[in-house]
Structure 1
Amino acid sequence: MAASSLSYRFCARTDQGRVRGNNEDAFALDDAAGLAVLADGMGGYNAGEVASSMACANIQRDLSGWFRADDAGNPVTLDDIRRVLERSVAHANSAVLQAAREHSEYAGMGTTLVVGVFHGRDLVLGHIGDSRCYRLREGQLTRVTRDHSLLQEQLDAGLITAEQAEVSVHRNLVTRALGVDPAVMLEVHTHPVEAEDIYLMCSDGLSDMLRDTDIAKLLRLPLSLELRAEALVDMANDRGGRDNITVLLVHAQGQRPTL
């Protein structure tokens, strides 16, 4: 079976929403490195905005720099990418912690994170908190990440139903975040990518406003990647826009393996 290579198209949209006074979401893209980063900050004043921006900037700098430095034709393995990803997230965690120590107005800030490196026919994906990654494959939507949140723990333990979860007052209580502890707990997995897959990374400003069925319906529309991203943001705002909304889409382009 011959496997042709894949190429990746990236696009992102971010919006303040209808309620919040500022946007504490951040994202970073590097097409050449196959890198996509999304963060949703938390903290008083503009501290959440600082944490998410720092996380994205640090991770992009480290990973993009590593790929450029390794651009000498040396084979890159998935283990290499995972190791560098974990190291870059640890550096970002230390930077956010240090900024909080040095500036009292940033005390207690932190951020969720979802970061992916698309390499060949694989995705190395890491996440912390309740920012998510979904995959649309042959019309079927799958949530690739599992929230690090009190709500998810209650669901896993059978303490509440999915219907109760939708109206729970604990929707936004995360159990992991970047920048709050010296040791950051990044969950990392590798996923095979197929031609025509569409990956969606998003902050909870989208997933809290839209059901998975709504997300799937919009991603299936015969529109450009950019228009689908805008449609997702617009629907979240139409439903109330209670939080900042960030959408990052990645389209895997190429041919499916043939015999």
Structure 2
Amino acid sequence: MIFEYYSQTDPGLIRENNEDSVALDPANQVVVLADGMGGYNAGEVASAMATGFIHNELGRWMTEGGHEAHARELKRAMEICVDNANRSIFNAANSNPLYAGMGTTLVMGVFQGARVMIGHVGDSRCYRLRGGTLQQITRDHSLLQEQIDAGLISVEQAQFATHKNLVTRALGVEDTVLLEVNEFRVEDGDIYLFCSDGLSDMVPDERIAEILLEEAGLEASGRSLVDCANGNGGRDNISVILAQARAKPVKRGLLSRMLGQP
């Protein structure tokens, strides 16, 4: 597989600062998105620390041989990088009064040929568009999701809940954090959307699917998603990363080329 990437982050229409952060490493096929929280500029600090640390450390590991790693080894490398990033944010939050209480959600992906490893903490999401169908392939670590899972409220009722943003996991809040990692098979034409809740809270899944299905290209799709979130109110920072998979073209053999065969 070969992959094309696009990323964009936008403050939205209400917030004065942008506490989201994104990082792309196309050479190592690593993408990272974080949505920070905390007073002053602490959320900005937490999300930037998370994406910067994971981008650098995981990228270095991939360069040193991670491209050939088995799924179990890659999963462990992702967990270690996130654990180290979590400790750095936690220590900073506890050593600087301005950063007290800061933290960040996280969603990340590592693409390896016909496989992708998706890791997440909190309610930043990953969706997959395949064969015209959009599917959310991460499950939010949030109080709202726990209530849905327990049957206390329906998915329809959840759309109007006032506590959508209460997450049950985040980097930097405690000295340890549990990264949920899942492996997925990649198919030709798949589009993976990584996003903060500034998109998913403002744009219904059906509209997200419509925009991606327009096939205008990743950059145009990414800009349309951000514009749509802002058009619906832009109440939070909005970040998106898009990754599209394409099968590598099959090289024809010398004899086929000589005979003019396709």
Superposition TM-score tier, normalisation by shorter sequence: over 0.9
Deviation at 1:222, TM superposition (A): 2.3
User: Is the Cα–Cα contact under 8 Å of residues 2 and 248 in structure 2 kept in the other structure?
Assistant: no
Specify which of 127, 134, 137 is matched with residue 127 of structure 2.
Answer: 134
Match for 1:70: what amino acid? G
SS in 2 for 1:233: helix
Aligned residues: 250
1:217-246 CA-to-partner distances (Å, cap 9, x unmatched) read 001012011000000000000000000000
The two structures have a TM-score, normalised by structure 2, of 0.93
Corresponding residue of 2:21:
26
The two structures have a TM-score, normalised by structure 1, of 0.94
Residue 132 (structure 2) pairs with residue 120 (structure 1): no
User: Is the Cα–Cα contact under 8 Å of residues 92 and 99 in structure 2 kept in the other structure?
Assistant: yes
Dislocated runs of 4+, deviation >4 Å: none
Specify which of 89, 93, 99 is matched with residue 100 of structure 1.
Answer: 93
SS in 1 for 2:68: coil
Specify which of 44, 56, 62 is matched with residue 67 of structure 1.
Answer: 62
Deviation at 1:255, TM superposition (A): 5.8
Structure 1 vs Structure 2: percent identity of aligned residues? Answer: 53
Residue 139 (structure 2) pairs with residue 146 (structure 1): yes
Corresponding residue of 2:253:
none
Deviation at 1:101, TM superposition (A): 1.7
Specify which of 181, 184, 190 is matched with residue 197 of structure 1.
Answer: 190
Match for 1:7: what amino acid? I
Deviation at 1:75, TM superposition (A): 3.2
1:126-165 CA-to-partner distances (Å, cap 9, x unmatched) read 1000000000001100100000001111111111122221
Match for 1:149: what amino acid? S
SS in 2 for 1:199: strand
Specify which of 25, 30, 37 is matched with residue 32 of structure 2.
Answer: 37
In the aligned structure 2, how far is the partner of 1:75 from the partner of 1:248? Answer: 24
1:39-60 CA-to-partner distances (Å, cap 9, x unmatched) read 0000001000000000000001
1:46-92 CA-to-partner distances (Å, cap 9, x unmatched) read 00000000000000111111112227xx8321122111111000010
Corresponding residue of 2:205:
212
Corresponding residue of 2:232:
239
The root-mean-square deviation of aligned C-alpha atoms, in Å, is 1.4
Worse overlay, 241-250 or 155-164: 155-164
Worse overlay, 75-84 or 117-126: 75-84
In the aligned structure 2, how far is the partner of 1:158 from the partner of 1:68? Answer: 45
User: Is the Cα–Cα contact under 8 Å of residues 195 and 256 in structure 1 kept in the other structure?
Assistant: no
Match for 1:15: what amino acid? D
Q: List alignment gaps of at least 5 residues for structure 2.
A: 251-262
User: Is the Cα–Cα contact under 8 Å of residues 129 and 190 in structure 2 kept in the other structure?
Assistant: yes
User: Is the Cα–Cα contact under 8 Å of residues 18 and 241 in structure 1 kept in the other structure?
Assistant: yes
